[in-house]
C-alpha cells in the first residue's frame, strides 16, 4: 500500500496493517491510472480498494504482493505522447494477459547535467484473477513421479512436489518480451516522427556498446557523500555523469533541431484549413447584400461580432479547431449523460431497497407475533387477519436477505448514498446546461460556414467547367 501511495502521490489507508501512507505533498507525479482486464471488478479502479484487496488475499506477512517495474520515458516525445505510449504498451503487454496494472507517470526535477528523467512506475498484483474476478493462486503443486508414474514420498512421508507458478508473468522470457515490446513501440514512434534515434532493450554489454561506466560506490561512500563529504569515487562518478550528459545533450540538440526543421517544412507544405473569421465575415456580408434595411444590416453586424467574440473566447480559429471542439464537447456530453444515467439507475435501485426495507420494518412486529403463537388455530386466525401485512413482510424479507449483515440492514448507508447520488446527478445537470448552450452556438456557426464553403465549392466547379469548355 505504501508503494502504491508513493508512486501515485496519494493518501491511502491499509486495512491489513492499520496504517496510513500520505504522499500527497510529493512532487513530480504527472498522472496515475489503474488499468483493468474485462473480468476484473470495476471497484478495483479505486487504488485503495485494489491494494487492500491484494493485501487481504495474502496469508503471509512477508508474501510478495506485486511485480514492480520502472520504465524510462523518452525526452524526444511530449509528455502526452509518452503517457499515450505507456498506456498502449501496458494494455497490449499486461492487461491483455489478464493482469491488473497500477501505473504512475513521474517527471522529477532535472538531475545532474540538466537532463530530465521522465519515467513511469508499474505495479501489478502477482495473483491472477479468475474469470469471476476472484484472486487465484500464485503457484500450484507439480508432484514428482517415479518411473511407474507414482508420486514419490520423502523421508517424512510427504509427497515430493515442485512449486510451479500459475502464470508466466515472472519468467525471464516474459520480462525479455516486455522489454523488447517497449523498445519496439518507442522505435516505431521515433520512425513516425522522423527521428533517427532508436533504443535497444538489450544491455550495453549485449549490444557491444562502449560507454564510460561509473564505479560502484558502496554504502560507506554513499553515506559520506550524503553527509556532504566528497570522495574520490564520488568525484569520478560526477565527472562521468556530466561527460555522458554533455554527449547526450549535444545529440538531443541536434535531434531537436532536425525535428524542428522537419516540422517547419511539413507545416509549410501542407494546406492550411480555412479561417473561421474569414468564412463568418463572408457569410454575414452575403446576408447584408440581401438586406434592405439598416436595422437588418446592423443586426447582422451584431451577430457577426457576437460569433467572433465567442470563437475568440473558445480559442477556435480554423474549421479544424471547430470540428475538434464539437467532437470533444459531444464526447463530454455523452460521458456526462452516461454517468447521469448510471446514477439514476442506482437511485431507482436504492428507492426499491428502501421501499422493501419499510415493508420489512412495518411487518416485523406482525411476523414476530405470529412466531410466538403456539397453537395452530390461533396461528391460522392471526395469519388470516394480517394476511396482507405478512405477505408484504415475507416478500421484503426475501428480497433483502442478501443485504443483511449481522442481522441488520444498511438503511442509513442507502439513504446517504441516495442523497449523494441525487446531488451528483443535479451537479451533472448543472454542468450540462452551459455545455448544451455552447454546442448549440457552435453548431449554428458550423451551419453558417458550411453554407459559405458549399457556395465556394459550387463556384469553383463552375469555373473549372468553363475553363474546360474554353480549352476544348
Residue 183 cell numbers, joined: 523498445
Q: What is the DSSP string of 249-308?
A: HHHHHHHHHHHHHHHHHHHHHSPPPPBHHHHHHHHHHHHHHT--SHHHHHHHHHHHHHHH
In terms of Cα–Cα distance, which of 411, 370, 403 is closest to 389? 370
Task: Report the pLDDT averaged over residues 99-111.
Answer: 81
Q: Is residue 76's pLDDT more than 80?
A: yes
Q: pLDDT band at residue 101, thresholds of 50, 70 and 90?
A: very high
Q: Which of 38-42, 108-112, 181-185, 265-269 is least confident?
A: 108-112
Contacts of residue 115, defined as CB under 8 A and 6 or more positions apart, other chains included, come to 75, 245, 248, 249
* pLDDT tens-digit readout, 453-470: 888 888 888 888 887 777
pTM over 0.95: no
Share of the chain above pLDDT 70, in %: 92
In terms of Cα–Cα distance, which of 276, 347, 279 is closest to 317? 276
Q: Which of 221-225, 329-333, 447-451 is least confident?
A: 221-225
Q: pLDDT band at residue 111, thresholds of 50, 70 and 90?
A: very low
Task: Report the pLDDT averaged over residues 301-312.
Answer: 89
Q: Which of 5-19, 101-115, 273-287, 333-347 is least confident?
A: 101-115
Contact call for residues 439 and 316 (beta carbons, < 8 A) = no
Q: Is residue 284's pLDDT more than 90?
A: no
| E strand map for 136-176 | 139-143, 161-165
Q: How far is CA 136 from CA 4, 46, 57, 126, 320, in A?
A: 21, 20, 9, 10, 49
Mean pLDDT over each residue of the chain, to the nearest integer: 85
How high is the pLDDT of residue 234?
78
**E strand or H helix at 69, and its extent?**
strand 66-72
Contact call for residues 198 and 79 (beta carbons, < 8 A) = no
Share of the chain above pLDDT 90, in %: 37
How high is the pLDDT of residue 34?
94
Question: Which residue's entry shows cell 439513504?
Answer: 415
Q: For residue 268, which phi and psi values (nearest 5 degrees)?
A: -70, -30
Which residue blocks in 108-231 are alpha helix, DSSP H?
Answer: 172-192, 204-207, 218-226
Burial group, residue 297, by CB count within 10 angstroms (0-12, 13-18, 19+): middle
Angle (CA) 120 79 333, round 5°: 105
In terms of Cα–Cα distance, which of 438, 435, 457 is closest to 279? 457
Specify which of 142-146, 208-212, 261-265, 315-319 reaches the highest per-range mean pLDDT.
Answer: 315-319
Q: Is residue 139's pLDDT more than 60?
A: yes
Q: pLDDT band at residue 218, thresholds of 50, 70 and 90?
A: low
* pLDDT tens-digit readout, 358-412: 999 999 999 999 989 989 999 999 989 999 999 999 999 999 999 988 888 899 9
Q: How far is CA 306 from CA 274, 323, 432, 441, 448, in A?
A: 20, 19, 22, 10, 14
* pLDDT tens-digit readout, 145-173: 878 888 888 888 788 778 788 888 888 88
How high is the pLDDT of residue 472?
60
Q: Is residue 114's pLDDT more than 70?
A: no
In terms of Cα–Cα distance, which of 306, 301, 308 is closest to 285? 301
Q: Is residue 224's pLDDT more than 90?
A: no
Amino acid at each position: 500500500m505504501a508503494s502504491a501511495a508513493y508512486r501515485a502521490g496519494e493518501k491511502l489507508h491499509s486495512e491489513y496493517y492499520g496504517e496510513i501512507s500520505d504522499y500527497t505533498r510529493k512532487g513530480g507525479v504527472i498522472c496515475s491510472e489503474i488499468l483493468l482486464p474485462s473480468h476484473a471488478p470495476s471497484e478495483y479502479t479505486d487504488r485503495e480498494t485494489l491494494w487492500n484487496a491484494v493485501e487481504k488475499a495474502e496469508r503471509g506477512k512477508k508474501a510478495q504482493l506485486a511485480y514492480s517495474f520502472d520504465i524510462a520515458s523518452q525526452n524526444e516525445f511530449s509528455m502526452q505522447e509518452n503517457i499515450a505510449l505507456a498506456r498502449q504498451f501496458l494494455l497490449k503487454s499486461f492487461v491483455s494477459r489478464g493482469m491488473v496494472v497500477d501505473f504512475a507517470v513521474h517527471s522529477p526535477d532535472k538531475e545532474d547535467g540538466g537532463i530530465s528523467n521522465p519515467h513511469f512506475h508499474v505495479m501489478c498484483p502477482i495473483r491472477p484473477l479468475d474469470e469471476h474476478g476472484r484472486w487465484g493462486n500464485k503457484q500450484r503443486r507439480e508432484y514428482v513421479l517415479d518411473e511407474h508414474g507414482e508420486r514419490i514420498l520423502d523421508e517424512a512421508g510427504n509427497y515430493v512436489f515442485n512449486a510451479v507458478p500459475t502464470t508466466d508473468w515472472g519468467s525471464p522470457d516474459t520480462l525479455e518480451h516486455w522489454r523488447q515490446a517497449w523498445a519496439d513501440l518507442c522505435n516505431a514512434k521515433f520512425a513516425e516522427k522522423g527521428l533517427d534515434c532508436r533504443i535497444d532493450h538489450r544491455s550495453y554489454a549485449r549490444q557491444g556498446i562502449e560507454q564510460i561506466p561509473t564505479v560502484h560506490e558502496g554504502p560507506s561512500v554513499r553515506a559520506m557523500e550524503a553527509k556532504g563529504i566528497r570522495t574520490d569515487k564520488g568525484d569520478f562518478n560526477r565527472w562521468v555523469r556530466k561527460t555522458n550528459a554533455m554527449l547526450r545533450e549535444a545529440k538531443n540538440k541536434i535531434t531537436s533541431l532536425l525535428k524542428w526543421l522537419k516540422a517547419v517544412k511539413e507545416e509549410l507544405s501542407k494546406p492550411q484549413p480555412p479561417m473561421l473569421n474569414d468564412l463568418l465575415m463572408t457569410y454575414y456580408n452575403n446576408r447584408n447584400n440581401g438586406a434592405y434595411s439598416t436595422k437588418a444590416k446592423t443586426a447582422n453586424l451584431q451577430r457577426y461580432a457576437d460569433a467572433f467574440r465567442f470563437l475568440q473566447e473558445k480559442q477556435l480559429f480554423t474549421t479544424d479547431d471547430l470540428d475538434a471542439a464539437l467532437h470533444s464537447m459531444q464526447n463530454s456530453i455523452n460521458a456526462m449523460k452516461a454517468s447521469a444515467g448510471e446514477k439514476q439507475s442506482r437511485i431507482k435501485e436504492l428507492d426499491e431497497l428502501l421501499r422493501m426495507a419499510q415493508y420489512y420494518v412495518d411487518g416485523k412486529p406482525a411476523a414476530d407475533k405470529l412466531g410466538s403463537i403456539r397453537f395452530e388455530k390461533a396461528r391460522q386466525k392471526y395469519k388470516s387477519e394480517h394476511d396482507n401485512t405478512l405477505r408484504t413482510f415475507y416478500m421484503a424479507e426475501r428480497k433483502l436477505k442478501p443485504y443483511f449483515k449481522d442481522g441488520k440492514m444498511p438503511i442509513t448507508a442507502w439513504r446517504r448514498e441516495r442523497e449523494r447520488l441525487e446531488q451528483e446527478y443535479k451537479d451533472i445537470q448543472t454542468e450540462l446546461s452551459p455545455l448544451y448552450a455552447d454546442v448549440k452556438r457552435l453548431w449554428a456557426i458550423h451551419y453558417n460556414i458550411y453554407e459559405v464553403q458549399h457556395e465556394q465549392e459550387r463556384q469553383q466547379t463552375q469555373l473549372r467547367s468553363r475553363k474546360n469548355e474554353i480549352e476544348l
